[in-house]
Amino acid sequence: MFSPLDRFFSTIAGWIDQTVLLPILYHFGWMQWEELSFDWMLVCVYGFFAVIITYAICWPLEALFPIEKWPSQKAVVTDVMYTLVSRVGVLPIFSFLVFYQIQVTVNGFVVDHGYIPPMLETVIPSLLGHPILTFILYALILDCAEYWRHRLSHTFRGWYALHALHHAQRQMSFWSDDRNHMLDDLISGVWFAVIGLAIGIPPLQFPLLVMFMRIVESLSHANARISFGWLGDRLLISPRFHRIHHGLHAAGRVSCNYGAVFPFWDMIFRTADFSDHFPATGDRNAPEAMATGGYVAQQVSGLLYFGQMMKKGRASKARAKAKIKAGVS
């Protein structure tokens, strides 16, 4: 069904690779990256079309069923930039350059010591020949990993200070999905690199399905009064379900609805809230620059907030220790 679409995207990526990227790599003597350059292009092309499809789906929904109407959309413009950087441009290539190299180094080390990392298909050989089933399993594992990464990012004071950038947005829209601090993205990259090493994630085997998952994630941030109904909300994360996570009361170190694509993990680990309301979003404790500043201001502010929170954490620990000591004596 999707094969012609897949072929269309791949052909565009191949054309750009051959006519633009390869000549550049050749010119600068970087041809050792030529095998990967096609993958970079695939990620960028799929990312680009994901943005267009997301826009085509979400913009009418936000226009027809808005939860909030804003006099100025300046804060949303910054989120658009996050999305473009994250999905089409710099970040995919940066991830390839850095994480590919790290993964290769770690892989080489363990293989050289006699351990060849397993993959789902080698652990469960019957999966071979069932690519969609294999993908669903990988998707479930990765989504579960994302649930725990997200939940932990709310648990630790310093980590939440970085993640607060994502929550600070008071004008949450479908563009807000990629609004993250660089360090938070870096932690996320390491997290998934480790999981990739453990289960052997297929990098670009199912780009259309990955694209679908990213669209669901964007949609879940939409400023649209939409739920998927009693059953639908329990199968796929809806804008209503995720908005509760972004609600003012849920910002901080105790929250709910951490899931990204599937709500199962929130249901299993008892953090799901299926309430029928669409709260105001934002984080009252986060610095104002994280909410309304430009890209650089948000990043700098996030870093400063991280420093403050770490300091606060150390002070709090010292106080607790002193209290215990006083109690003992």
Chain residues binding other proteins by CB under 8 A are 6-7, 10-11, 13-15, 17-19, 22-23, 26, 29, 31-32, 34-35, 38-39, 42, 104, 107-108, 111-112, 116-117, 119, 121-122, 125, 128-129, 131, 200, 202-205
Nearest to 176 by CA among 165, 186, 188: 165
- Cβ at position 25, least distance to other proteins in Å: 8
- Cβ at position 13, least distance to other proteins in Å: 8
Alpha carbon separation from 298 to 82, 162, 290, 301, 329 (Å, rounded): 11, 10, 4, 5, 46
- Cβ at position 108, least distance to other proteins in Å: 4
- Cβ at position 189, least distance to other proteins in Å: 18
Question: Is 200 in contact with 117 (CB distance < 8 Å)?
Answer: yes
Is 35 or 276 the residue whose CB approaches other proteins more closely?
Answer: 35
Is 34 or 288 the residue whose CB approaches other proteins more closely?
Answer: 34
- Which residue do the tokens 């996320």 mark? 188
- Cβ at position 29, least distance to other proteins in Å: 5
- Cβ at position 56, least distance to other proteins in Å: 25
Is 29 or 327 the residue whose CB approaches other proteins more closely?
Answer: 29
Alpha carbon separation from 78 to 28, 58, 75, 220, 314 (Å, rounded): 33, 17, 6, 19, 33
281: left (phi over 0), alpha (psi -120 to 50) or beta: beta
Is 85 or 98 the residue whose CB approaches other proteins more closely?
Answer: 98
For 179, the token pair is 């609004």
Output Rg (C-alpha) for the chain, integer angstroms.
Answer: 21
- Cβ at position 50, least distance to other proteins in Å: 18
Question: Is 209 in contact with 160 (CB distance < 8 Å)?
Answer: no
Give the integer Cα–Cα distance in Å for 149 and 194: 12
- Cβ at position 115, least distance to other proteins in Å: 10
Is 26 or 70 the residue whose CB approaches other proteins more closely?
Answer: 26
- Cβ at position 261, least distance to other proteins in Å: 22
For 132, the token pair is 């969609």
Nearest to 177 by CA among 201, 146, 206: 146
Question: Is 47 in contact with 55 (CB distance < 8 Å)?
Answer: no
Is 110 or 268 the residue whose CB approaches other proteins more closely?
Answer: 110
For 317, the token pair is 């620990």
Give the integer Cα–Cα distance in Å for 80 and 138: 29
Is 74 or 130 the residue whose CB approaches other proteins more closely?
Answer: 130
Give the integer Cα–Cα distance in Å for 53 and 59: 10
Is 122 or 155 the residue whose CB approaches other proteins more closely?
Answer: 122
- Count of CB atoms within 10 A of residue 224's CB? 24
Is 10 or 285 the residue whose CB approaches other proteins more closely?
Answer: 10
